[in-house]
Structure 1
Amino acid sequence: MSAAEKYNGLVENYTADVYMRTYVETLKKNFLFKYTHLVPRFVLHDPKSDEALIETLSTLSFTYPNNYLQDIKNVTGTLTGKKDIDMIPFYLLNINVYGETTNTESFFMPVRFSTARYYTYHLRQMQFENNKTYYTVEFNPIYSNQKLLKGHFVIESGTWRIVHFSAEGVESFSNFSFEITMGNTWITNYLPVHFVIYHTANYLGNVVASRHLASMNYNNVVLRVNEKKEKILNISDFFRVRLDSVPVNNDSVFWAQNRAIPLQAREVEVIRNYEKTNQQKPTEEKVDISQQNGKRVQQFAQRMVMDSRYKIKSTMIGYSGLLNPLMLGYSSIDGVTYRQKLSFNFDLKRS
């Protein structure tokens, strides 16, 4: 825990390219599911499909002590609306495993002396690999609270840095868990490079699960110069996702080159089904238009050859039709005749 206090303020600033992919699956739904979209920022879901996929590329900038700015650069997938992108948990990417709390103060982290009184610890495993010893420490909250987590972390003997951190917690109507893997180069040893986030929402008989995968590639990391420790006020904490408009980019070649985590088989199928559905939509629209035009022609033809009636307020108007074959007649005197009938029926008010 002494090492955690030192590593907490190790980095002065950095920028990183972030690739994040979100897979959403509706596991259970009832008649109330169709009203989910009416509740703002409630559950990320696709009201038209049981599965959805979103990919984003962004730039994350950090400045000590807790200032984060994430610019969304490219978006693709089956859900690309701004309200959908806003519900992706980008805020979890700024978790500092060495901090006392998360940036939003949503959770108390378990590796500091100041928060250790809220947890119990147990050495689960000791492993020797590549001439190094690794310890897996399990932690559990001493009582149930939404600000406390449970899980485990792996620390490296000697440096006492965290190489892997896994935790789970509970929010209103949902459960979540996340896994953080730290880097293995000298500059990323104390920074996260991979995230796996699971979230399951259970509400009113509906169950929606999502999985978020993220990879971070650091471009510029500046370490802090040892200075006298200063009191950090919460007013300096800042996190913002900048997304003025959704930068949709559906270029498959671009994503094949910039996708840091390969698509899984199920995700490929979701994209194919989505593209197939979109290709069918213009055809279906054309069919609908042709059907509507056909109905109009049919209605016009019926009005031309059949009796039709129209009601205007209290007046009923009847017309035999312009080319009604029933209006044809023949007599030896007049020969072939064609009649047309126009009738009016008035409802007169009684005095």
Structure 2
Amino acid sequence: MIKSLIVFFAVILAKPVFGQSVLAGRVTDSQGNAAAFTSVYINGTTQGTSANPNGYYSLKLKPGKYVINYRFVGFKQQTDEVEVTGNYNTHNVTLVYEDYQPKQNTPPVTEDAAFDIIRNAIKKRDYYLKEINAYSCDVYIRGTQKLISAPKGMLSRGVARQLQLNLSAKSILYMSESASHFNFEQPGNYKEVMVSSKATGNYNAFNFDRAANLQVNFYKNMLDIEGLNQRGFISPIADDALKYYTYKLLGSTTENGKVVNKIQVTPIDDREPVFKGNIYIVENDWRIYAAHLYVTGKSNLNFVDTLNINQQYLPVSADKWQPSSVSFTYSGNVLGFRYNGYILGTFSNYNLDTKFPPHFFNGETMRIADITVKRDSVYWSQNRPVPLTFDEQRIYNLKDSLVAAHSKPAYLDSAERANNKFSPLSYVFFGDTVKHRHKNEVITVNPLYDVVQYNPIEGWVVDLKPTYTKSMDVGKAYTISPELRYGFDNKIVSLNTGFNYRYDPEHEGAFYGKVGTGILDLNNEGTVGPFLNSFNALYFKSNDLKLYRSKFLMAGTQREVARGLLLDGNLEYARRTALQNQSSRTVRSFPDKEFNSNNPFITAVNAPLLFEENDALTLKLSGTYTFDEEYTTTPGGRVYDQSKYPKIKVNYRKGIKGIFSSDVDYDYADVQIYHDHINLGIYGFSAFQVTAGNFFNSNALSYPDYKWFKGNQGITFTPGISQFHFLPYYTYSQSSFLEAHYEHNFAGYLFNNIAGLRKLKLEEIIGGNFLTQKNTPNYGEIYVGVQRFFFRIDYGFVYRRGHIDQGIKLYFGI
């Protein structure tokens, strides 16, 4: 009776659209257990769906007779003929476990028969990877994560109530689902159009929200499962799979006239990024029929302890197969909070004859329209291909009722007032944000530790830098960012205002500018932060910042003019004035120590000014080209994907003499080649940057016009591919130079083989930096480091002017 009621509710939740009926039911095994994620599709077609975790399925069909296939890994495929008549039709199915009979090896036997099957599958791997030139299909993705248990006392009833959690039972932390139309063309072009998307709960959950990330293709040598680890996983039929796996033939069976071999996959070393489980290979065709594989924490996983993958293929034509579904089930434990979950992807309505128009694959990998996330519950009940479980439906009903209540103007106004309430403690560390939803306005104020500063050039400083942002339709927005700065010892008031108008978010089109007066760092690449410099000055009488004053007017614009080509240009007029120390106060007494001067090249207190006051009219132009650029289009603009290829950037800077009394006359240019993330598979990933530049004309220029580098002098540093570890802050070039950086993150490749370190999931890092130019010939650094989340420690050596030094650098931040 209970089962019948559950089937009934599963059916009525799948409301038919006009002219269609619903075929629904439950798929179980012979013991009555749910056959979760069973593929259900019409025989001879790719129209179908999957059962939910409780085995319930729902399929919308026109009235008539159908032959339905029910298939899941480890079970014998069942084919039933059903007749769909009225609005709702119930058809329950009991699957029978597949009986894989052992094969008899012909003596003499030197290795398991599975090895020959795998070798044949490896030979056909590349063929099956490329056999379909192009296709399109519909993809539905569902993900749910549940809290299983929490440490006693750490999850109070008040917190549980706010999160809608039941402490005595499994409670859903996160749910999401999406429907997309996916298009593919060799050799790797794809475009996904998201039709609908819905999510609720903790968005930091392990999950996929796009079909491209759910492409678990075992025909590839390496499988990258986003978020799971940095190294990827080796396919059981990769070209070099025999170096990592051993195989055993568990048996064979006949399915649809084809002999299917069940092969057990066992890693030679389970500390490598490898799978365990079973893979099913079709005899003679040597294609994958299905896969039931899993990975464990020994492979240095993030977020989860164990991940199971079930994938099934179906024929989309007479001799071509594609995935019909893929499901992930996983479990994890973070600080005693135990959770599990699943992610289900169904692929249906394959079309191998799709004719894509010219330039259809133009770099846009996904398009998300504004309507995508605004689909209501009626839309989802009519279009959801996989029924919700009872708990999922309960959570959605609860969330929908909360959304309805929280969408009322009175609640929104109350919530806005509460969120805009000033919090002194929060302001000290994070600043303050005020939002006005009716006007689409946001005002932010920098935190107190950034407002109050100290340095010997200005003394105590108050530096207020609020920003005002106004959002408009289709991602357009403008930002106004004024700054008011006052030094209590040098008595200088600085006031300036910046402006940015994003007029074309799809092509990064913007106008920007700035006008006023400001106190600037001599090194325009950046040096020490104001908070750390203030601390060092007050407690150690050490000042690293070298500042000057500028009165300026600047205007510029940028836009992507072609795929991958971003152009930027601005013109600035500035009057630059050197500054001297005006204060010597400290918290502690230093009778025998004085602050260094504001001249970085002369330490004496009475050092002369670094440069004479001058005027400069400067033209800056740059072009950045990304090879094979790819991006996601959202209502708010483009989000760029990580490119597989390096980027090239060309910078040109011209000091224009004589106009508006400009004193400068120079021409500077450089070329950068860089890549932030080069995937090297099981060996981790690398990043590099090489920059070569020169002053082709240096008739007249001042220190603010020189080429500066990202140096570092303290024990802390901020990771970045252009960051030196030991180079003095105020190292510059006024002639030709060559700068090179390289860093490699092994992502656990080495430490995962050391028992005592494996559980720490540390990432090993090596790198080097090089600079050669007139003032700093053949300067070099090498370093090694370890990293975990937001903490990193590096130990490095530096070679300069014939001497070798060494030291430790720390990073801790989010």
Q: TM-score, normalised by structure 1?
A: 0.63
1:76-124 CA-partner distances (Å, limit 9, x unpaired): 243497x779754755522222221125761110113422221011111
Aligned runs of 1:39-188 on 2, under 5 Å? 49=165, 50-51=171-172, 52-79=174-201, 88=209, 90=211, 92-102=213-223, 106-170=232-296, 171-174=301-304, 175-186=306-317
Question: Where does residue 256 of structure 1 map in the other structure?
Answer: 381
Q: Distance in 1 between the 2:257 and 2:136 partners?
A: 32
> Aligned in 2, Cα 1:206/1:243: closer, same or farther, shift over 3 Å?
farther
Q: Alignment RMSD, CA only?
A: 3.6
User: Is the contact between residue 58 and residue 73 of structure 1 (CA under 8 Å) also seen in structure 2?
Assistant: yes
Report deviation, 1:254.
2.4
Question: Where does residue 325 of structure 2 map in the other structure?
Answer: 194
Question: Where does residue 5 of structure 1 map in the other structure?
Answer: 126
> Aligned in 2, Cα 1:58/1:188: closer, same or farther, shift over 3 Å?
farther
Report deviation, 1:57.
0.9
> Aligned in 2, Cα 1:247/1:79: closer, same or farther, shift over 3 Å?
farther
Report deviation, 1:276.
4.3
1:312-347 CA-partner distances (Å, limit 9, x unpaired): xxxxxxxxxxxxxxxxxxxxxxxxxxxxxxxxxxxx
Report deviation, 1:143.
0.4
User: Is the contact between residue 181 and residue 194 of structure 2 (CA under 8 Å) also seen in structure 1?
Assistant: yes
Determine whether 1:265 maps to 2:390: yes
User: Is the contact between residue 207 and residue 343 of structure 2 (CA under 8 Å) also seen in structure 1?
Assistant: no
Q: Distance in 1 between the 2:260 and 2:317 partners?
A: 18
> Aligned in 2, Cα 1:270/1:149: closer, same or farther, shift over 3 Å?
same
* Structure 2 letter corresponding to 1:262: P
Aligned runs of 1:201-280 on 2, under 5 Å? 201-221=332-352, 243=368, 247-278=372-403
SS where residue 315 of structure 2 aligns?
coil
Report deviation, 1:218.
4.3
* Paired positions, count: 261
SS where residue 18 of structure 1 aligns?
strand
Report deviation, 1:207.
1.8
Aligned runs of 1:23-38 on 2, under 5 Å? 23-30=144-151
**Greater fraction strand:** 2
Report deviation, 1:126.
1.4
1:230-251 CA-partner distances (Å, limit 9, x unpaired): xxxxxxxx99555586831343
Q: Which has the bigger relative contact order, CA under 8 A and spacing at least 6?
A: 1
Gaps of 5+ in 2: 1-120, 157-161, 166-170, 226-230, 355-362, 415-814
> Aligned in 2, Cα 1:242/1:124: closer, same or farther, shift over 3 Å?
farther
SS where residue 19 of structure 1 aligns?
strand
Report deviation, 1:183.
1.5
* Structure 1 letter corresponding to 2:386: I
Report deviation, 1:128.
2.5
Question: Where does residue 231 of structure 1 map in the other structure?
Answer: none
**Greater fraction helix:** 1
Q: Distance in 2 between the 1:282 and 1:3 partners?
A: 56
SS where residue 125 of structure 1 aligns?
strand
Report deviation, 1:194.
0.6
Question: Where does residue 46 of structure 2 map in the other structure?
Answer: none
Q: Distance in 1 between the 2:308 and 2:339 partners?
A: 15
1:60-90 CA-partner distances (Å, limit 9, x unpaired): 2323233444343311243497x77975475
User: Is the contact between residue 119 and residue 139 of structure 1 (CA under 8 Å) also seen in structure 2?
Assistant: yes
User: Is the contact between residue 69 and residue 240 of structure 1 (CA under 8 Å) also seen in structure 2?
Assistant: yes
Determine whether 1:16 maps to 2:134: no
User: Is the contact between residue 80 and residue 246 of structure 1 (CA under 8 Å) also seen in structure 2?
Assistant: no
> Aligned in 2, Cα 1:252/1:244: closer, same or farther, shift over 3 Å?
closer
Q: Distance in 2 between the 1:112 and 1:151 partners?
A: 16
Structure index of larger Rg: 1
Gaps of 5+ in 1: 35-45, 224-237, 290-351
Report deviation, 1:133.
2.0
* Structure 2 letter corresponding to 1:111: I
Q: Distance in 1 between the 2:350 and 2:126 partners?
A: 25
> Aligned in 2, Cα 1:196/1:77: closer, same or farther, shift over 3 Å?
same
Report deviation, 1:10.
0.8
Q: Distance in 2 between the 1:118 and 1:127 partners?
A: 27
> Aligned in 2, Cα 1:185/1:243: closer, same or farther, shift over 3 Å?
closer
1:29-53 CA-partner distances (Å, limit 9, x unpaired): 347779xxxxxxxxxxx95543132
Identity over the aligned pairs, expressed in percent? 20
Q: Distance in 2 between the 1:282 and 1:248 partners?
A: 15
SS where residue 99 of structure 1 aligns?
coil
Q: Distance in 2 between the 1:136 and 1:117 partners?
A: 20
